[in-house]
Each structure stands twice: as C-alpha cells, then as structure tokens.
C-alpha cells in the first residue's frame, strides 16, 4: 500500500509543507534539526492536525482532502503511531496499554511475546527501562493492525549503550512488517540505517529526498551536506587554475576544489574522505593542510580527529599508530574532488 | 468550643429538631448541588481545558467570578435572575415552579458559590495531562468520548477529587447568598450554617453543637484533599476506590 502525502500548513514562524509518496514496504526518514516541522508531517498523516491545505491517501482510501472537505478522524485511520517519549498511559499496566489499541483481548498476549515483554504484563509503565518502554509502545502501536506506521524519534529516548542494538532490531521489524513507514529523527545516522530514502527538512521544507548514499554523494546544498555529516567551512574563491578553484578559508588555510564556484563559498568535506599523516605525502591528492590536532574522539573502531578546522574519520588503529594527541602537528589530506563548493 | 460544653451534651443538642432538620436540608441540598457540579462541571471543565488563548481566559474568568463576588451580590443576583419578579422567574412561574425561598433556591445558591472550586481545579488537572496521551489514544482507535472516559478522567482523578472536596466544603459553609435568596425556614431552606445563626439567639448549645459538627466535617474534607493529592504521587500503594478492572483470567 502506497502512502501519498501533500500538504502546506502555516506554523508560528514558518510554513510547513511536504509532498512525497511512500511506497509499500518502504521506510522514508525525515531528518532535520528540532523545530524543523518533522512531527507536523506525522500529525497530518495521523489526523491529529488538519493542515491549511492538504491531501493524504493510502492506496485508494482518501484520509484527508481539504479541497473536498474529507478528514477521516484519527481513530478511523488505521495508523500505528509511535510517539516521541512513547506516550504510554501511566495509569495502566503494560498489558492494558497494549490492550487499549487491540481489537480483542486475544491479540494482546501474542504481541507481548513477540516483543519479549510477557514478563512485564502487570508492570507499571513508569517502572520500565527506556528499551522496554519502546517495545511496549511498538506492541501497542501494532495492536491495532495498522496499515502504515509513523515513528517519531524512535531511538532518542534511549541511552547510547542500548541504541545500536535497538536500531538493528527496529530495522528487522520494519522489514518484517512490510508497511509504508514514515520516521522522523534528528540523527542522520539513525535515518540512514533505518530508511530506504531520507528527506532533509529545514524550516518546514523538504530540501532533498534521496537514498542515504545519494544524499552523501550529492548533497544539494551546504545545509544538507552538514546534516549528513560533512564539515562545512566558509571561504572565498581566489584563483582558478587548470579548472580547479583555489579557496582561501576564513580561518587562514587554503585548499583546492574541483567544483565550480566563485566569490564567497561554503566548502563541504566529509570526514571519511580525509586521511591523516604526520608529514605531507607526495601523491595525487591536491590538498594537504597542516595544522595542530584540536581533539581526538574515539567512536568504536573509528576515531574522529580534528586538525585545525578539518575533521577526519580514520580507523582507531591508524590513530594509535600515528600517536595523535591534541597539540601535535598533523597533515589532513584529501582530493580536490572531495571538497565541494556551495554558494554562500 | 469542644471544651465549653461536655461532649455528651453536644451530641444530645444535635438531636434537637432544629439541628436534625438543618442536617437533613443540608444533606439533601448539598448532594443535589454536588451531583450537578460533577455531572455538568466535569465535561464543561474538560471543554474549557481544550480551548486556547483569550477565549479560554474569558471562560475561566466567568467560572471564577462567584469566587470573588461578595455573597450579598450573589444573593441579589440570584433573586434578580430567578425571583418571582426576576428575569427567568416569570418563565418558571408560568410552569408552576416557584424558586425563591424553596429548596431549589438553596441548591442554586450552593451550586453557584461552590462550583468555581471544583471547576478551577478540574480545568487545571485536565490541562496538566500530557497532550500526547489523548492523541495516542485517538490513534489507537478511541473516539473523543472514550478518550475522555478512559484517559482524561483517570489521569485527572486526584485533582477532580480534591476539587470536589473543596467545593463540598464551600457548599457546606454557604451562608450569605442562601439567606438572601432562600431564606431561613426550618425544615425547608435552613441549612446547618443558617441554623447556627438562628440558634445563636435561641439555644446557644445547639449552635455550639452544629458548629462542632461542621468543624469535624471540614477537617474530614481537608484530610480527604490531602489523601487525593497523595493518590496522585503515590498511586502505586494507595487505592481509595476500587482499582480499575484487572487483567481477565
């Protein structure tokens, strides 16, 4: 079943809008900073917010059509909605929370088993851990046998320790369900792991909607580049030689880019395109920026190192071999094709 | 007050016809008032709690007005509205209903002055419920009525209980508007508070006895407000009423 969403709605400081189709069994993630209007999209699909102008349909069923004054109330929309912070009913135990959405009591126990919360059936939801609360909320949202699923920040209430495991579980569950899913998150990594396509939202507008790999390969602008993980540096094109632009960064360093551009620009460089060394190597790469190491942050088997304004993501093993410590001089190297230019 | 007369005499003074009649009138009128306040006030408070902006403020001001109104003004207002020569009095008279100086007048006066205590607390308790909870209930298939009964009422129960207790206490002590609008006829409109005033001149012991009774009742009401408040914070351990239906076996 394909979900069609198109709407515009005036919010306090900007106009939120979306125009997208979620294919059957497809997960679309909307990412953006908080307050960008991500949740507004979910509320419109669920029927909790009637937009100024809009249309929502699930296959042939029209759920909302402001032009024809169609607005199916939320309780008749067959939508599974996982709320931010989960919105479990604090006055009910786990069993009754799941029962609230279920058509009959017989549906409850299989759901509890499926989410490994049978043992918590009579527990109060206020006493559960973050991971348990998430499973109760998922079981409750699925109790209604929904035709589509809306997930609002499904992982943000979890600590970093449980997050990765829950993320993998959720991916498996979404595959298994085969429903159209709209997920909103402020974390691009969560979006890239969970969704087939990712839309970057800012000020209520979907700036770019593409597969995670396409987003990273060809970000439309500096905002999308920075949101998908790139380091964005302001600078100015000072010279064109052999078709390459020489950009003086505002901080004092300079680099070469293969992109077109003139005057004031933003340069986007993805950390995984940058390699580090203690001396500048003589190779095909055009850019070798030497500066002091500012910070070294281990992230599992990788390490993020900040050299001057540039962030590099290298393996933990390499970071150890190079003995990188704050204050030590290092050289960040990357190709001219890895430095993308966007007008400022 | 409890030291002035031996406890035995206080109890026997309560047996006087004036005290017994006042107790009966009070019990009758305040139960009808409380019923009306709960039945009409709860949905009204919920409705107001879902409004926003200047309209909500105007509604709350209207609700709170009897709270600050001098009792004499309330009495005059009720007489002007429902008295025989009043605004609505003619309509009721045509229907054969006389309001002023009857039990209906007592009920109206008590409801008028006591309802703000319940409504204010009820509006506040509905407003502090996380708006995601009724929204979640809607997406789980519950219509507005079921959301109100299964989510909003249980989550606001402690506030509603405390508000009802306060309204009851205020209704019990109602004096000014009642004496102006309903008079003080023994066995008809004379409530406990009015009886104290009358017995003050006739039989001081009876006045003392009724006062003592009201002190005990008021203390019980305050205690119940405390219990209602604890019900919210420690809802795991303290159950005042039958718990909601448990898991079917």
Residues B89-132 have pLDDT tens digits of 778 877 878 888 899 999 999 999 999 999 999 999 999 999 99
Q: What is the pLDDT of residue B6?
A: 78
Option in B135, B141, B154 nearest A101 (CB)? B141
Q: What is the pLDDT of residue A89?
A: 96
Within 10 angstroms of residue B97's Cβ, the number of other Cβ atoms is 12
Per-chain mean pLDDT for chain B: 87
Over residues A220-258, the pLDDT tens digits come to: 999 999 999 999 999 999 999 999 999 999 988 999 999
Q: What is the pLDDT of residue B243?
A: 40
Query: Is it true that A3-78+147-224 and A230-343 share their CATH fold?
Result: no
Q: What is the pLDDT of residue A82?
A: 96
> Which of 2.40.50.100, 3.90.1010.10, 2.40.50.140, 3.40.50.620 is the CATH number of A230-343?
2.40.50.100
What ipTM was assigned to the predicted interfaces of this complex? Answer: 0.84
Q: What is the pLDDT of residue B232?
A: 59
Task: Judge contact between A160 and A15, C-beta under 8 A.
Answer: no
- Percentage of chain A beyond pLDDT 70 is 100
B135 lies within 8 A of chain A by CB = yes
Given pLDDT bands bounded at 50, 70 and 90, which one contains residue B84?
confident
Option in B130, B135, B235 nearest A48 (CB)? B135
Within 10 angstroms of residue A342's Cβ, the number of other Cβ atoms is 19
Question: What distance in Å separates residue A197's CA from the closest CA in chain B?
Answer: 25
Q: What is the pLDDT of residue B241?
A: 40
Q: Which of A103, A45, A37 minimizes the C-alpha distance to A74?
A: A45
| pLDDT surpasses 60 at B188 | yes
Substitution target from B53, B130, B136, B148 for chain A, most A beta carbons within 10 A: B136
Over residues B30-55, the mean pLDDT reads: 94
Option in A91, A95, A100 nearest B140 (CB)? A100
Substitution target from A80, A84, A91 for chain B, most B beta carbons within 10 A: A91
Question: What distance in Å separates residue A74's CA from the closest CA in chain B?
Answer: 5
Over residues B186-199, the mean pLDDT reads: 92
pTM summary value: 0.82
Chain A residue nearest residue B249, CA to CA: A105
Option in B138, B151, B244 nearest A74 (CB)? B138
Assign A57 to helix, strand or coil.
strand
Which residue did the predictor score with more confidence, B97 or A193? A193
A79 lies within 8 A of chain B by CB = yes
Over residues B58-85, the mean pLDDT reads: 89
Q: Compute the distance between CA of residue A311 and CA of residue B125 in angstroms, rounded to an integer.
A: 50
Over residues A74-79, the mean pLDDT reads: 94
Chain A residue nearest residue B158, CA to CA: A91
B141 lies within 8 A of chain A by CB = yes
B232 lies within 8 A of chain A by CB = no
Q: Which of A189, A173, A341 minimizes the C-alpha distance to A268?
A: A341
- Percentage of chain B beyond pLDDT 70 is 92
CB contact under 8 A, B141 and A144: yes
Buried b / exposed e along B1-28 (16+ C-beta atoms within 10 A) = eeeebeeeebeebbebebbebbbebbee
Going along chain B from its start, the domains and CATH numbers come out as: 7-232 (1.10.3720.10)
Q: Compute the distance between CA of residue B180 and CA of residue B80 in angstroms, rounded to an integer.
A: 11
Over residues A45-55, the pLDDT tens digits come to: 999 999 999 99
A72 lies within 8 A of chain B by CB = no
User: Considering the domain A3-78+147-224 in this protein, what is its CATH number?
Assistant: 3.40.50.300
Q: Compute the distance between CA of residue B178 and CA of residue B159 in angstroms, rounded to an integer.
A: 28
Substitution target from A47, A81, A87, A141 for chain B, most B beta carbons within 10 A: A87
Buried b / exposed e along A220-244 (16+ C-beta atoms within 10 A) = ebbbbbbbbbbbbbebbbeeeeeeb
Over residues A94-147, the pLDDT tens digits come to: 999 999 988 888 889 999 999 999 999 999 999 998 889 999 999 999 999 999
| pLDDT surpasses 70 at B233 | no
Q: Compute the distance between CA of residue A244 and CA of residue B206 in angstroms, rounded to an integer.
A: 105
- Spell out the domain ranges in chain A: 3-78+147-224, 230-343
Option in B135, B236, B247 nearest A122 (CB)? B247
| pLDDT surpasses 80 at B231 | no
């Amino acid at each position: 079943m394909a979900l069609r969403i198109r709407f515009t709605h005036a919010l306090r400081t900007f106009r939120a809008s979306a125009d997208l189709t979620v294919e059957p069994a497809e997960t679309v993630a909307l990412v953006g900073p908080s307050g960008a209007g991500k949740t507004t999209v979910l509320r419109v699909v669920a029927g909790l917010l009637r937009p100024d102008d809009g249309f929502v349909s699930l296959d042939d069923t029209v759920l909302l059509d402001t032009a024809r004054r169609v607005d199916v109330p939320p309780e008749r929309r067959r939508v599974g909605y996982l709320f931010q912070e989960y919105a479990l009913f604090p006055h009910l135990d786990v069993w009754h929370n799941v029962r609230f959405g279920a058509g009959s009591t017989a549906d409850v126990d299989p759901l509890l088993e499926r989410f490994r919360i049978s043992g918590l059936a009579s527990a109060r939801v206020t006493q559960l851990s973050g991971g348990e609360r998430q499973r109760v909320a998922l079981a409750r949202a699925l109790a209604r046998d929904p035709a589509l699923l809306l997930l609002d920040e499904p992982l943000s209430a979890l600590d970093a320790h449980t997050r990765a495991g829950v993320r993998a579980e959720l991916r498996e569950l979404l595959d298994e369900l085969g429903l159209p899913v709209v997920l909103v998150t402020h974390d691009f990594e969560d979006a890239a792991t969970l969704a087939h396509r990712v839309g970057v939202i800012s000020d209520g507008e979907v700036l770019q909607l593409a597969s995670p790999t396409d987003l990273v390969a060809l970000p439309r602008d500096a905002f999308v580049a920075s949101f998908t993980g790139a380091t964005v540096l302001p600078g100015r094109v000072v010279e064109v030689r052999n078709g390459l632009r020489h950009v003086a960064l505002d901080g004092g360093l300079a680099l070469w880019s293969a992109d077109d551009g003139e005057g004031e620009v933003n340069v986007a460089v993805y950390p995984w395109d940058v390699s580090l060394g203690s001396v500048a190597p003589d190779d095909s790469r055009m850019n070798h920026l030497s500066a002091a190491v500012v910070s070294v942050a281990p992230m599992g088997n990788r390490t993020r190192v900040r050299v001057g304004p540039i962030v590099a993501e290298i393996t933990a093993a390499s970071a150890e071999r190079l003995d990188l410590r704050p204050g030590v001089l290092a050289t960040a190297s990357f190709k001219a094709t890895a430095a993308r230019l966007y007008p400022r | 007050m409890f030291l002035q007369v031996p406890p035995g005499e206080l109890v026997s003074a309560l047996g006087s016809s004036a005290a017994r009649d006042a107790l009966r009138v009070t019990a009758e009128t305040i139960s009808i008032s409380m019923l009306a306040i709960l039945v009409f006030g709860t949905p009204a408070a919920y409705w107001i709690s879902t409004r926003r902006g200047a309209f909500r403020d105007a509604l709350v001001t209207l609700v709170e007005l009897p709270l600050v109104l001098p009792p004499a003004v309330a009495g005059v207002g009720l007489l002007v509205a429902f008295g025989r020569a009043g605004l609505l009095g003619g309509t009721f008279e045509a229907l054969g209903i006389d309001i002023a100086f009857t039990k209906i007048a007592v009920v109206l006066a008590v409801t008028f002055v006591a309802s703000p205590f319940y409504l204010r607390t009820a509006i506040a308790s509905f407003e502090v419920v996380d708006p995601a909870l009724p929204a979640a209930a809607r997406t789980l298939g519950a219509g507005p009525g079921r959301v109100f009964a299964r989510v909003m009422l249980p989550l606001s129960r402690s506030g509603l209980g405390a508000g009802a207790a306060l309204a009851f206490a205020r209704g019990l002590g109602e004096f000014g508007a009642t004496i102006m609008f309903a008079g003080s006829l023994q066995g008809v409109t004379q409530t406990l508070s009015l009886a104290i005033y009358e017995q003050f001149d006739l039989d001081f012991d009876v006045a003392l006895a009724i006062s003592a009774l009201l002190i005990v009742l008021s203390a019980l009401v305050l205690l119940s407000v405390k219990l209602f408040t604890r019900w919210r914070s420690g809802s795991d351990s303290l159950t005042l009423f039958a718990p909601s239906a448990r898991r079917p076996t």
